[in-house]
Amino acid sequence: MILKLDSVPMVNDAISVREIDNEIIFIEESGKGIHTTTDTGLFIYKKIDGNRSLLDIIKSVCEEYDITEEIAKNDIFEFIDDLVNKEIITII
Amino acid sequence: MESLRDKILQKYIQSNRPFSVLFEVTKRCMCKCIHCYLADNSDNELSLKEIKDLFIQLKNIGVVNLGLTGGEPFLRKDIFEIIKYAYENHFFISILTTGILLDSEKIKLLKSYNVNQFEISILGAKAETHDKIMNYKGAFDKTIENINLLKKENAIISLKATIIKQNYKELVQMANIAKEFNVEFKANINIAPKTDGNKITLNYMLNEEELNEIDLKLINGGLIPGEDYSGGALLTCNAGKLSIGISSNGEIYPCLLFRKSIGNIRKKSLQDILIKNPSNFLKKLRKIKEEDVKRCYKCNIKKYCNRCPGISYLETKKIASANPSACYIANLVFNKISKN
């Protein structure tokens, strides 16, 4: 999957997502697939709503963490790519 | 090495959050099973609005697995709205049912809400036996018809059989039915007293002669979904820790069999009941260790025992006692195995 700035990420329907003490837990129904994320990952996850594009999310991260778009882009693409490979997120 | 799942469950335990909930959406049931543990079938059920609020609270404290049970869950007219809301909040839903009230349209609707796991009661291999125990004519045929329909939709099914005097002679055939459907078979020989403590249901337990006639290899538990009794007596369990039970009127229990109320969501929030201000009883239950159940811990036949902390509490009103009906069964099993 090649990510683009106008790609819109969305959490897969078959994944249950829960927030426990500032940690996001993604759980697959079989219980086999589990992934967790904290800090920036948690912030990024909260921006994933099936409407915002990756560019929108990059801009939010830049505002929140006062970093350049280039750095934010690399980190966010890496984060989203990982979740897409784990079938937690789909790109619509 | 500890898996990520183990670490997550540990985090849930440390922060007093349940991962799984069994919710009795109604106590009402069209069947009147002779060994049913529910003492009465009527109470002031939570409304759809209250249930939606409950689900949001469950989601916010981190609950992932949501089992819906009854009574018969499909007797609620708003059951599909309840299920839809659970689906929209990304719970993994399982349903415990008699299977009688389903039809192909309802099964398709359930599939659209990602409901794929069902635990269905089977109480005989013949219609006559099953229907008589359930006090419901036509139950067996309808259930078998609906298991067929569920299988066509690739549902994951467990057939749950409570083995009592009235059906023990059909145990092998019941297991064969499960085999034919290629579904899990969960048979148990322990019976819970009624939720008000009445032990009349224990009269249906097998005696020594009857127990000697059955194949113990076919018995593996099944009173509480997710708990496997095959490893011997449960001195402690996840009740009140990783799992809780919620009754149809909002009463919160460590488990639906562990009928000691720890709060009611009509009076307090789940955060309050489970995390911020747990009752002394719940605090004590969460701390209990296997060695605290002294008599059972030292018992030399505990590996033949199906002790359940919830049933033990129902029978004795004590948190760390042996449960007499499990002791009775364990002795019979031990005697039978010793003779062979």
In chain A, where are the structural domains located?
Answer: 9-91
Read off the pLDDT of each residue in B185-195 and give the average, rounded to a whole number.
Answer: 90
- pLDDT, one tens digit per residue, over B294-322 is 999 999 998 888 899 999 999 999 999 99
**8 Å CB contact between A52 and A80:** no
For A20, the closest of B11, B114, B116 (CB atoms) is: B11
Residue of A nearest to B18 (CA): A20
Contact A29 B92 (CB under 8 A): yes
Please state whether the peptide bond connecting residue B124 to the residue before it is cis, i.e. omega within 30 degrees of 0.
no
As a whole-number percent, the residues of chain B with pLDDT over 90 amount to: 80
Which residues does chain A have with pLDDT short of 70?
Answer: 30-33
Give residue-wise pLDDT tens across range B203-260. Answer: 999 999 999 999 888 887 544 434 444 567 889 999 999 999 999 999 999 999 999 9
In B, minimum Cα distance to A12 occurs at B90
A with B: how many residue pairs have Cβ under 8 Å apart? Answer: 36
**Cα(B86)–Cα(B116) distance, rounded to whole angstroms?**
13
Contact B127, B179 (CB under 8 A): no
| CB neighbour list of residue B14: distance below 8 Å, 6 or more residues apart | none
Of the candidates B45, B107, B85, which has an alpha carbon nearest to the alpha carbon of residue B250? B45
Residue predicted with more confidence, B339 or B158: B158
pLDDT for res A1: 73
Using a CB-CB cut-off of 8 Å, the residues of chain B touching A36 are 4, 8
Mean pLDDT of B271-300: 96
pTM for the full predicted model: 0.91
Per-residue pLDDT at A65: 87
Q: Which of B58, B64, B66, B94 to mutate to test the interface with A (most CBs of A within 10 A)?
A: B64
- Residues whose CB is less than 8 angstroms from the CB of residue B79 and which lie 6 or more positions away in sequence, other chains included: B25, B68, B73
Give the pLDDT confidence score for residue B323 in this predicted structure: 86
Q: Rounded to a whole number, what is the distance in Å from the CA of A24 to chain B's nearest CA?
A: 10
Report the alpha-carbon distance of residue B272 to residue B278 in Å, rounded: 7
Identify from A18, A29, A35, A48 which residue to disrupt to test chain B contact, counting B C-beta atoms within 10 A and taking the largest count: A18
Taking residues B94-111, report their average pLDDT: 97
Nearest CA in chain B to A32: B5
Mean pLDDT of B150-165: 95
Task: Report the mean per-residue pLDDT for chain B.
Answer: 92
Q: Quick one: which of B223, B290, B306 has its CA closest to B22?
A: B223
Which residue, chain included where needed, has tokens 């796991």? B117
Whether the pLDDT of residue B55 is over 90: the answer is yes
- Whether residue A34 and residue B64 make contact (CB cut-off 8 A), yes or no, is no
Nearest CA in chain A to B156: A30
Other CB atoms within 10 Å distance of the CB of residue B249? 15
Report the CATH superfamily, name and number, of domain A9-91.
Coenzyme PQQ synthesis protein D (PqqD) (1.10.10.1150)
List the 11-70 stretch of A: residues with Cβ below 8 A of B: 13-21, 23, 25, 27, 29, 31, 34-36
CB contact under 8 A, A31 and B5: yes
- Enumerate the residues of chain A whose CB falls inside 8 A of the CB of residue B116: 29
pLDDT in tens, B126-141: 999 999 999 999 999 9
* Contact between chains at A36 and B63 (C-beta distance less than 8 A): no
Q: Residue B143 pLDDT more than 70?
A: yes
Question: In this model, does residue B124 exceed pLDDT 50?
Answer: yes
Name the residue of chain B whose CA is nearest to A27's CA: B64
Of B4, B12, B92, the CB nearest to A34: B4
With 60 as the cut, is the pLDDT of residue B15 above it? Answer: yes
Contact B91 A19 (CB under 8 A): no
pLDDT of B80 reads: 98
